[in-house]
């Protein structure tokens, strides 16, 4: 029971820390009434992708940040998003964080974030700014030997959620 409590607190701590650290808020749940943040995702089909390097500890278990970037790129394009190098496109940032505990060397908490940043007009400033408009994230507890498969699963789930939210926003954009 004490092991479960420690892992639960570790997971909650990671979620709070990385959510604060991430570049976008709010986390977008699916619901019947669509928010302005969600509506801002309507019709997104192309993105500019930024893949942050893996944490060094994870890179050792994974292989390399380059392999992680290739995987992220493949999973995003498999979800029917086009990736292009165009500054006018929304920027999709893929980021990974981990937490380890000396008391639990057989468990790693792996946290993956997809953050979408877009150019928006801020009326008060009469300026177009690039701001975070969505964050989709997930965390998993895994044995070190299972990190690669688990991270792939996290990325796949987050990309799938992004695709669902974009589809929901696109369907709702014509509604009053």
Q: Give the model's pLDDT for residue 149.
A: 84
pLDDT of residue 161: 95
d(CA 169, CA 135): 15
Contact 134, 28 (CB under 8 A): yes
Is the pLDDT assigned to residue 1 strictly greater than 60? no
Write down the pLDDT at residue 91.
97
Q: 75, 94, 85: which is closest to 46 by C-alpha?
A: 85
Q: 2-172 has which CATH code?
A: 3.30.160
- Please count the residues of the chain: 176
pLDDT tops 60 at residue 9: no
**What is the arithmetic mean of pLDDT over 79-85?**
96
**pLDDT tens by residue, 87-135:** 999 999 999 998 888 888 888 889 999 999 999 999 999 999 999 999 9
Residue 166 is predicted with a pLDDT of 95
Residue 131: alpha-carbon gap to chain centroid: 15
Which pLDDT band holds residue 138 (cuts at 50, 70, 90)? very high
């Amino acid at each position: 029971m004490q092991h479960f409590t420690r892992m639960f607190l570790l997971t909650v701590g990671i979620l709070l820390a990385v959510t604060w650290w991430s570049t976008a808020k709010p986390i977008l749940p699916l619901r019947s009434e669509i928010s302005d943040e969600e509506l801002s995702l309507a019709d997104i089909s192309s993105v500019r992708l930024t893949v942050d390097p893996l944490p060094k500890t994870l890179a050792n278990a994974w292989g390399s940040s380059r392999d992680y970037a290739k995987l992220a790129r493949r999973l995003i394009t498999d979800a029917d998003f086009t990736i292009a190098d165009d500054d006018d496109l929304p920027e999709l940032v893929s980021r990974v964080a981990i937490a380890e505990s000396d008391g639990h060397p057989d468990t790693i908490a792996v946290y993956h974030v997809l953050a979408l940043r877009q150019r928006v007009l801020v009326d008060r400033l009469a300026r177009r700014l690039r701001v975070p408009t969505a964050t989709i994230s997930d965390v998993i507890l895994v044995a070190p030997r299972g990190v690669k498969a688990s991270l792939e699963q996290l990325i796949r789930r987050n990309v799938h959620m992004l695709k669902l939210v974009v589809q929901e926003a696109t369907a709702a954009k014509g509604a009053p």
